[in-house]
Structure 1
Amino acid sequence: MTAAATQAKASGKPVPVTALTDEVTQVTAQPDGQFTADTNVTPVRALHSGTWVPIDTHLHRNPDGSLSPNATAYGTVRFSGGGTAALATTTSGGVSYTLSWPGRLAAPRVSGSSATYPDVLPGVDLQVQATDTGGFSTVLIVKTAAAARNPQLKTLNLPTRIAGGQITRSRAKDGITLSSGPRGPILQSASPLMWDSNTTLAAVNPKAARAHLQLSPDPSTAGHAGIAARLAPVTTKATATALTLIPDPALLTGLHTVYPLYIDPTIDWTPTT
């Protein structure tokens, strides 16, 4: 802190205190001798080759054909470039979690921080997206009612591999938690959700002149449930070797479900790493 304060006073410009910088907080020495702290709720920077850089989840291609974000906090993640390689592997401090798709993946379409694998099932795409923490979201995009009736969507068993940790929470609708010894919970998945593409809100008073209101400005996407979307929890079961997802059948093939339908578990590193 003393060196930063001296430099700030001499230059007349603010100087970051590197020793007190982390993923969410930056302390800065001011020319007047004061120190200020800028704290964020979510990560805004990552330590990359010994230097703090802004979070950048845009994907780049690795020499082996896999995909990785440019800079993420806490952990790193690698996505399949297609074929039989694991769908996603996220790693932090000697702990890793690998999720696979039970079948061959087509070459993905890459856009920003996401990669979309077409037709993992008939009429169903699979999208992965890097998160700021170095985790990832996995979204099944069920494009039509016919695709939703595929028996394979009733229960999805995705192979997993864990190194350096163990599953410590796997209750049906509470997501999962991965822990590692004295470090405690380090990787977690919130309660998975699924949502449709409905954009029509029913009026509170069904006798009102306009019983329904069309809401086109806020459609659902793979990363966002629209304001009028129908939502349901996804039952989750986790072991060391498999992640099982059981979509809500009433929404999966419901008469009023509007497709595409999105099924999303997200797995993120916690700041304790």
Structure 2
Amino acid sequence: MWLPTDAALQFAPDGRVTPKASAVSVTFSGGGTGALLTGVRDGRTLSLTWPKALPKPTLAGNVATYANVLPGVDLPLKAEVEGFAQLLVVKTPAAAQHPDLASLKFKLDTVGLNVSTDATTGLINAVDLAGQSAFTASTPMMWDSTTTGGGTTSPLLMSKTAAPRVLAATTGGETPAPSDTFVAPSGAKDAQMPTTVTGGNLEIKPDQALLTGASTKYPVYIDPSLAWGERQNWAWAYRSWPNNSYWNTKQDVRVGYESETNGLSRSFQLDTTNLKGAQVTKSTFRAKKTWSWSCTATPVEL
């Protein structure tokens, strides 16, 4: 029986947390020492485990939040129709000083997958025995809560990698909705995080200058999000930083030129195998605009 997809989370009879209906079998921890998250698709399995026992999460829509996994640090997980996303939310300067934030180590368990990281771009890739990508993650990033809406941040204070994370705007006094915490605000100071896969661990090293900087605005968000590989893909080809990987990055799609970060380009890859032999007479591509750097009407070609 076919069911409409629904990423809203619920506690399963075994105590773990699952979405009501998704394209990927995803479960999150219900608390304790088991795997933080497990994804299964076509017999291929990926599990990540937090090094400490987890509290029972609070569920809100498609987000499960594990409070105070370190003092002053929350760990929210978000279920999506095609996968999952995770964050560490460092709420205060005191929390940022915790020694465990110098290097984050998630125990990595897989079945039928080999996981590696690209030394140049930071792209994380898991391939099956046939060499096909099962999941990917763009260069892991972190960002603070600086926004352009409040009028307190100069573009000169943003990091050199900030452009690919400038995605949504908030105005002074606004508090983002829970789902918005997974998207960097416009003007956020951000940094890449070196990532390696060794000894059965996924190790991510947060940028300490951003994490504990005097001008850093808290909370700070640490994002090692993963996505299951599909033929429906998208990526940035960012002119200013051509060696950075933004393949299937968990952010809003952007297109065109904006002067503050010197522009970017965009590409999409869509699976059309189910159209083989068909005569296409009409096709529609829909996108919802959430932000613009200019109020001038300009065409966009697809």
Query: Do Structure 1 and Structure 2 share a fold, with TM-score over 0.5?
Result: yes
Q: Secondary structure at the match of 1:116?
A: strand
What are the residue-to-residue correspondences of 1:29-108 with 2, within 5 Å? 50-51=1-2, 53-73=3-23, 75-108=24-57
- The residue that corresponds to 1:267 in the other structure is 226
Q: Does 1:143 align with 2:72?
A: no
Q: CA deviation at 1:175?
A: 3.1
Q: Which has the higher strand share?
A: 1
Q: Which amino acid aligns with 2:215?
A: H
- Distance in 2 (CA, whole Å) between partners of 1:205 and 1:79 is 40
Q: 1:222 to 1:254 in 2, by over 3 A?
A: same
Q: Secondary structure at the match of 2:213?
A: coil
Q: Does 1:247 align with 2:206?
A: yes
Of residues 128, 134, 151, the one that matches 1:186 is 134
- The residue that corresponds to 2:119 in the other structure is 171
Q: CA deviation at 1:54?
A: 2.8
Q: 1:228 to 1:215 in 2, by over 3 A?
A: farther
- Distance in 2 (CA, whole Å) between partners of 1:226 and 1:194 is 12
**Cα contact 2:146–2:153 (8 A) shared by 1:** no
- The residue that corresponds to 1:113 in the other structure is 62
Q: 1:204 to 1:234 in 2, by over 3 A?
A: closer
The unaligned stretches of length 5 or more in structure 2 are 158-169, 233-302
Q: Which amino acid aligns with 1:56?
A: D
**Cα contact 2:116–2:196 (8 A) shared by 1:** no
- Distance in 1 (CA, whole Å) between partners of 2:51 and 2:155 is 44
Q: CA deviation at 1:222?
A: 2.4
1:73-98, Cα deviation, whole Å (9 max, x unpaired):
2x211000001111000010110000
Q: Which amino acid aligns with 2:67?
A: P
1:230-267, Cα deviation, whole Å (9 max, x unpaired):
11112111246111010111110011001111001111
- Distance in 2 (CA, whole Å) between partners of 1:88 and 1:138 is 9
Q: CA deviation at 1:128?
A: 0.8
**Cα contact 2:117–2:196 (8 A) shared by 1:** no
Q: CA deviation at 1:171?
A: 2.9
Q: Which amino acid aligns with 2:11?
A: R
Q: Secondary structure at the match of 1:129?
A: strand
- Distance in 2 (CA, whole Å) between partners of 1:204 and 1:142 is 23
Q: Secondary structure at the match of 1:266?
A: coil
- Distance in 1 (CA, whole Å) between partners of 2:199 and 2:10 is 29
**Cα contact 2:117–2:195 (8 A) shared by 1:** no
Work out the percentage of aligned pairs sharing the same amino acid. Answer: 36
- The residue that corresponds to 2:275 in the other structure is none
- Distance in 2 (CA, whole Å) between partners of 1:158 and 1:176 is 14
Q: Secondary structure at the match of 2:100?
A: helix
Q: Secondary structure at the match of 1:251?
A: helix
- The residue that corresponds to 2:182 in the other structure is 223
**Cα contact 1:193–1:231 (8 A) shared by 2:** yes
What are the residue-to-residue correspondences of 1:202-241 with 2, within 5 Å? 202=153, 215-216=171-172, 221-239=180-198, 241=200
- Distance in 2 (CA, whole Å) between partners of 1:80 and 1:204 is 40
Which 10-residue stretch deviates more, 169-178 or 86-95? 169-178
Give the root-mean-square deviation of aligned CA atoms: 2.4
Report the TM-score, using the length of structure 1 for normalisation.
Answer: 0.72
Q: Which has the larger radius of gyration?
A: 1
- Distance in 2 (CA, whole Å) between partners of 1:204 and 1:194 is 17
Q: Secondary structure at the match of 2:227?
A: strand
How many residues align? The count is 214
- The residue that corresponds to 2:101 in the other structure is 153
Report the TM-score, using the length of structure 2 for normalisation.
Answer: 0.66
**Cα contact 1:173–1:236 (8 A) shared by 2:** no
